[in-house]
Amino acid sequence: MRVCLVGVGLIAGSLGLALREKNQTLSVVGLGRHAETLERGVTLGVLDEWSLDPAIALAKADIVVLGVPLGATANVLSWIKPHLPKAAVITDVGSAKGCVIEDVEAVFGELPVTFVPGHPIAGTEHSGIDAAFGRLFFGRRVILTPTERTSQEATQAVETLWSQAGAHVVTMSVEHHDRMLAMTSHLPHMLAFGLVDMLAGASDHEEILRYAAGGFRDFTRIASSDPVMWRDICLGNRDALLEALAAYRSDLEKLAHFVDQADGDGLEAIFNQAKSTRDAYRHWFES
């Protein structure tokens, strides 16, 4: 079994480490634009070999994993397309799936039956191959969003790959994925970026950030995430994110209205609803 990682950052790098630890008969080859990064991949144990030439790296690949930022998907697909083995299964790791499928269709004319859109729900605020670690996916979910065109064999192959990395694989529709991720990940990232941006704009922001650090370490941590990656996610999942932003802004407007009107009952009702929901699902949050 030969896996080709196209782009070797935090996600693909961690996958390479996990696979090579788990499965000695599998070989991992890296394809990218920077020799230093790929050579670093060999040093760190992520890769068996690498090339800057797609014809060499992709030869005999059984599975090709696109580990590039969403915004680079179309260009990278065009670059590798002429060299893809006909039977090779292709998957990606992008945080939005509708836009990836559009890019694939634009490059290939139609979605190849061998293409399985994927999204590992794992990551840190760090990026790059040096941040990679083999246990990143352990016990985490990987969402696959095969379409009607996708072959069951291809989906099965990608499912096996992620299972070997220790992940739980679930499948769902593209639309469901994009809507759910908009609400549970993309919107909260916007809120964190917005909060830190707003605090940074205050005249006494140094003191303010010192106090914010005490209470919101984990929330503001995500504002240290890669700006280019998040720009691409926002643009890639634009419709679902706009919908989530609109719903959230309407909630916030309601809260501001209650504060403005000194409507204690209105505030308490929202806080109660939030607390009882959070408490009802406590087992998920605290596991």
How far, CA to CA in Å, does 82 sit from each of 12, 53, 55, 77?
Answer: 22, 12, 8, 9
Q: Rounded to whole angstroms, how far apart are CA atoms 265 and 73? A: 49
Distance CA 23, CA 126 (A): 26
Asked whether 143 and 121 are in contact (CB, 8 A), the reply is yes
Element (H, E) at 106: helix 98-108
The minimum distance between CB 187 and a copy of itself, in angstroms, equals 8
Q: How far is CA 268 from CA 15, 254, 255, 262, in A?
A: 45, 12, 10, 11
Rule CB under 8 A: is residue 211 a binding residue for a copy of itself?
A: yes
Least Å from the CB of residue 70 to a copy of itself: 11
Work out whether 248 is an interface residue with a copy of itself (CB under 8 A): yes
Q: Could you tell me how many residues of this chain bind a copy of itself (CB under 8 A)? A: 88
**Interface map 262-281 toward a copy of itself (x if CB under 8 A):** x-x--xx-xxxxxx-xxx-x
Interface with a copy of itself in residues 224-243 (CB under 8 A): 224-228, 230-232, 234-235, 238, 241-242
For a copy of itself, which is the closer residue by CB, 87 or 256?
Answer: 256
49: left (phi over 0), alpha (psi -120 to 50) or beta: beta
Please report, as residue ranges, which positions from 107 to 136 form the binding site for a copy of itself (by CB under 8 A): 121
The residues that bridge with 118 in the sheet, in sequence order, are 144
Q: Does 194 bind a copy of itself (CB under 8 A)?
A: yes
Choose between 95 and 150: whose C-beta lies nearer to a copy of itself.
Answer: 95
* Per CB under 8 A, 210 contacts a copy of itself: yes
Segment interacting with a copy of itself (CB under 8 A) among 51-59, 61-69, 155-163, 247-255: 247-255
